[in-house]
Structure 1
């Protein structure tokens, strides 16, 4: 089986969760004997593959989706629908408007066409599945809920690597690209008068200079900006193990790997109420209003007085690995190919 992986053209500019998702999915599928071909904009690769897998609903992939269907190749879409900061009914109205008013919400119109053209749409969790059904009226039987996989190795990393390099331990940690959606400024403001060190690990991008300047202006001397660390860098895994509390203050996420990696490492975890949390972990993770530094400050104070969370770690370690996730994705491919062949046979 040959599968073409597609996503938006700017994917290589800023490394983040989607890039890790794509890479780990490719590795797992290759281990199962699937030949994964990455999109090359200078070639028509569709005749060379059996199936197309599109990551995200960015409208740049619409032509490939349409060509794939025209040539009898099934399409799988991993929607990565990052709309949890918006009201679903408002988004539904925008989708309906896009179908009748030329030029209005054209990005949603293309997304709707792609989703309804797909043989199967993969949601990362039930929250995303419900959003797909509400906003885009996708039938539930067309949606497969398959989470991102997790690596148990985060549980056994050496905390001393980070502690010795940066001179801190039992600190508050955030791992995310530094930008307004990730909301580090609220976290920095919440901790301004606290005695705990705050470590922020993430990309510092030129287009976010104004926001980063605001973050630095509010940061006290206990805030450490490490810059970006590669996902497989031992220092990143060590940071999770050295931290006591992981905070994710984002305005919107789909399935943030960092939250689960911190859980596996044994951190206590608190997250914005806009962040979907896997049901087995929900009773172990406290949530807060991402617009309220005061509420976040109170929660941080409470959580930092507690020990690291062995129960959260134990539950997180039971979540699917990338190998298990890729087995489910492979099953989606087989089902889509079988359905396409069946339809071809009835023509």
Structure 2
């Protein structure tokens, strides 16, 4: 095996609105570098394509197809990380596009078995191309930072917290409807892509709920927000984002959507599982989170399995090029 230089790419419009996936790319580059990989993120500071041995392309958004074809035409090893989850059956066009990405890729990396099962049920992936690599969170979220900074900055006492881009598939509107009568405010931290959905959330929320702008990843204010909340809530229609790993490391009660992804990563007993389409289920899950001490086993489990950069070691092996 020889060392390889890696270029990380994604679809062109990705960074117009920063959500979890976009933050993952920046974090991925930093953590791969910590593991000794010479990795760059595509942009004006990257080298020309001919200087790289491997291209790691993130997502199967169709607008990235032209770029991927250029990579293959240049003879580079293409590692594809689909970061894909279909909550309902995709259209034939979506299936055809994903299948073409999979055909072009030398390796297709899935972050979990449940992600693979979800995708493979609609578009079979050639087994010889499949690799698995866990994702994770930074150890800085384990630091016992005070929640007072966030509370004082935004004039809060007790609060529930939801972190992530506000969009329909993240299902924030359902959480608002379920918790609108709660005396404890629900605080949303995140940007939005769909202004109409964002405005619907703001309109439906009672006056004591808060919508805060994007907070820098790993920042002291974000870590303080997690440490100070009474419960972390993510009742999305797709797998939770990596902020759920961060909340687990911060030792806060968690309310997550029930399903195979949550079971694979958090188990059935360490977090409070809810039906994201049921107001009663969300209410019951939040109430249980407020009344149940956090199991120390949750933090230990995430630390042992999903801590950056160690959890990326399988990906490092995938990115190597044979000499």
TM-score by length of 1: 0.83
Matched, 1:262 2:265: no
Counterpart of 1:330?
A: 316
- The structure 1 residue matched to 2:226, chosen from 232, 237, 240, is 240
- Contact 1:268/1:308 (<8 A) preserved: yes
Match runs of 1:174-189 below 5 Å? 174-189=162-177
> Which of 277-286 and 110-119 deviates more?
277-286
Matched, 1:153 2:164: no
Counterpart of 1:271?
A: 256
For 2:14 and 2:260, the matched residues in 1 are separated by: 22
Counterpart of 1:124?
A: 111
User: Structure 1: which 5+ runs fail to align?
Assistant: 96-104, 342-347
> CA separation of 1:40/1:238 partners in 2, compared to 1, >3 Å: closer, same or farther?
closer
Alpha-carbon deviation of 1:44?
Answer: 9.7
- Contact 1:121/1:142 (<8 A) preserved: yes
Alpha-carbon deviation of 1:62?
Answer: 2.3
The total of aligned residue pairs comes to 318
Matched, 1:281 2:269: no
Q: Secondary structure at the match of 1:27?
A: helix
Counterpart of 1:318?
A: 304
> CA separation of 1:274/1:45 partners in 2, compared to 1, >3 Å: closer, same or farther?
farther
Counterpart of 1:30?
A: 33
Match runs of 1:175-254 below 5 Å? 175-203=163-191, 205=192, 208-253=194-239
Alpha-carbon deviation of 1:329?
Answer: 1.6
For 2:53 and 2:265, the matched residues in 1 are separated by: 36
Q: Secondary structure at the match of 2:267?
A: helix
Matched, 1:172 2:172: no
For 2:157 and 2:304, the matched residues in 1 are separated by: 27
Matched, 1:144 2:131: yes
For 2:260 and 2:204, the matched residues in 1 are separated by: 24
- Contact 2:232/2:252 (<8 A) preserved: yes
- Contact 2:135/2:312 (<8 A) preserved: no
Deviations along 1:118-141, whole A, 9 cap, x unmatched?
A: 121111111111123322211334
TM-score by length of 2: 0.89
User: Structure 2: which 5+ runs fail to align?
Assistant: none
For 1:25 and 1:177, the matched residues in 2 are separated by: 19
- Contact 1:4/1:45 (<8 A) preserved: no
Alpha-carbon deviation of 1:242?
Answer: 0.5
For 2:228 and 2:311, the matched residues in 1 are separated by: 28
Q: Pick the structure with more helix per residue.
A: 1
Q: Report which of the two structures shows the higher radius of gyration computed on alpha carbons.
A: 1
- Contact 2:162/2:232 (<8 A) preserved: yes
- Contact 2:114/2:260 (<8 A) preserved: no
> CA separation of 1:16/1:75 partners in 2, compared to 1, >3 Å: closer, same or farther?
same
- Contact 1:169/1:243 (<8 A) preserved: no
> CA separation of 1:167/1:64 partners in 2, compared to 1, >3 Å: closer, same or farther?
closer
Counterpart of 1:74?
A: 77
Deviations along 1:29-50, whole A, 9 cap, x unmatched?
A: 2234433233349x99332211
Deviations along 1:233-290, whole A, 9 cap, x unmatched?
A: 211111110012111011123x511111111111111112368226251221232222
For 1:28 and 1:223, the matched residues in 2 are separated by: 35
Counterpart of 1:13?
A: 16
Q: Let me know the Cα RMSD of the aligned residues.
A: 2.4
Matched, 1:306 2:309: no
